[in-house]
Amino acid sequence: MYDKQTAVAAKEWVATGVNWIENGSYSLGVKNLERAIPVFLDRKDTVWLTYARHHLMVGTIAMGSHEQVLELFEEVMAGYVELEFSYGKALALLHAAQSQDRRGRWQQALSLLNLAISIATWARQGTLQAYLLGEKARLYLERQNMVDAIRALRESERLFEEAKEEDEALHRRVTLAEALARLGERSEAQALLEDAQGREFRAKKYRQALLPLRLLMRLYEEGGMLNEKERVAELIHFAGQYILQHQDAGSPRPDKRYPVMLAREDTEEPALLQIAAPGPMGQARGKA
C-alpha cells in the first residue's frame, strides 16, 4: 500500500515523464510514467492512472513500439469510459489511429478516426472535431483520394471559422486549395489561395503568407497567366524583404496539437495540461 506522500511523488514522476517525452527523450519519459502507474493503480486513482497511461501511450507511439499500443489503448479507453470523459476518448482514438497508420493499417486507422470524430461531434467539441477532420483529410491525401479529402477539409475549415480560429481555418483553406488544384479545380484553388494570402498580408503574417503565394505563383505559371505570376512574385519579394528587416513578420504556423488533459476541472496542476499530442498521421513525431 502506497502512502499519500508517495502518491504526491508519483504525480511529480508523471510531470517529469511527460516533459521528457515532449522534449524527445521518449525512453526516459516512459520509465518515469511506468514508475508512477503502479502507485495510482494501488490507490485506485482512476483520474491520474488514465492520465499517466495516456501519456505512456503517446510515448510508446513516439518510440515506434506499436505492438504495445493496443493494450495501452484499451486500458486508457476503459479509464475514460469510467470517467465519462469524451474529450479523452476522442484523443485516445486519434492516437491509436496514428499508430495504426504508421503500421500501414490504413482502414483500421480510418475506422478509429471516424469513431473519434463521432465522439467529438456528439460531445460538441467543435475545434477538436475540426482538427480530427483535418487528420482524416491527411489520410485521404496520402492515398490520392482528393474527393473525400476535400469534403473533410471543407468541414474542418467551416468548424474552425465558426470557432473564430482563423489561423487554423486558413491552414485548412491552403490545404484545400492544394487538393482542389490536384483535382483540376484550378479556379477555385486560386481564389482560396488569394483569399488566404490577402488575410495573412492584412495581419502582417508574412511568413505564413509565403506558402499560399508560392502555390499561387506555380498555378499561374502552369496556367500561362504571366501577369498574375509577376504580381505574386512581387508580393513574395516584399514579404521576404520585410521578414529580413523586421522581427514582427509572424512565425511559421505551428502544427496544431491537442493536449492530454486530466479528466476533471478542479486540478491544481495546470502546468501538466500543456502536453502536446503526437504529430500528424503519416509522420514520425519529433520534438514539438
Residue 190 lies in a domain: no
Residue 53 lies in a domain: no
Distances (CA, A) of 100 to 22, 32, 55, 70, 73: 21, 25, 17, 9, 12
Q: What is the pLDDT of residue 264?
A: 64
Per residue of the chain (288 residues), give pLDDT as tens.
888 899 999 999 999 999 999 999 999 999 999 999 999 999 999 999 999 999 999 999 999 999 899 999 999 999 999 999 999 999 999 999 999 999 999 999 999 999 999 999 999 999 999 999 999 999 999 999 999 999 999 999 999 999 999 999 999 999 999 999 999 999 999 999 999 999 999 999 999 999 999 999 999 999 999 999 999 999 999 999 998 887 655 555 555 678 899 886 444 443 343 333 344 454 433 322
What total number of domains does the chain contain? 1
Using the 8-state DSSP alphabet, how is residue 104 labeled?
T
Query: Long-range contacts made by residues 213-217, C-beta under 8 angstroms, separation at least 24?
Result: 213/239, 215/174, 215/177, 215/178, 215/181, 215/189, 216/190
- How much is the pTM? 0.85
Domain assignment present for 222 = yes
Domain that holds residue 218: 203-257
Residue 288 lies in a domain: no
Does residue 252 form part of some domain?
Answer: yes
Q: What is the pLDDT of residue 6?
A: 94
Question: Is residue 238, in this structure, part of any structural domain at all?
Answer: yes
Is the torsion defined by CA of 244, 247, 253, 255 positive or negative?
Answer: positive
Within a domain: residue 221? yes
State the pLDDT at residue 253.
57
Q: Is residue 126 part of a domain?
A: no
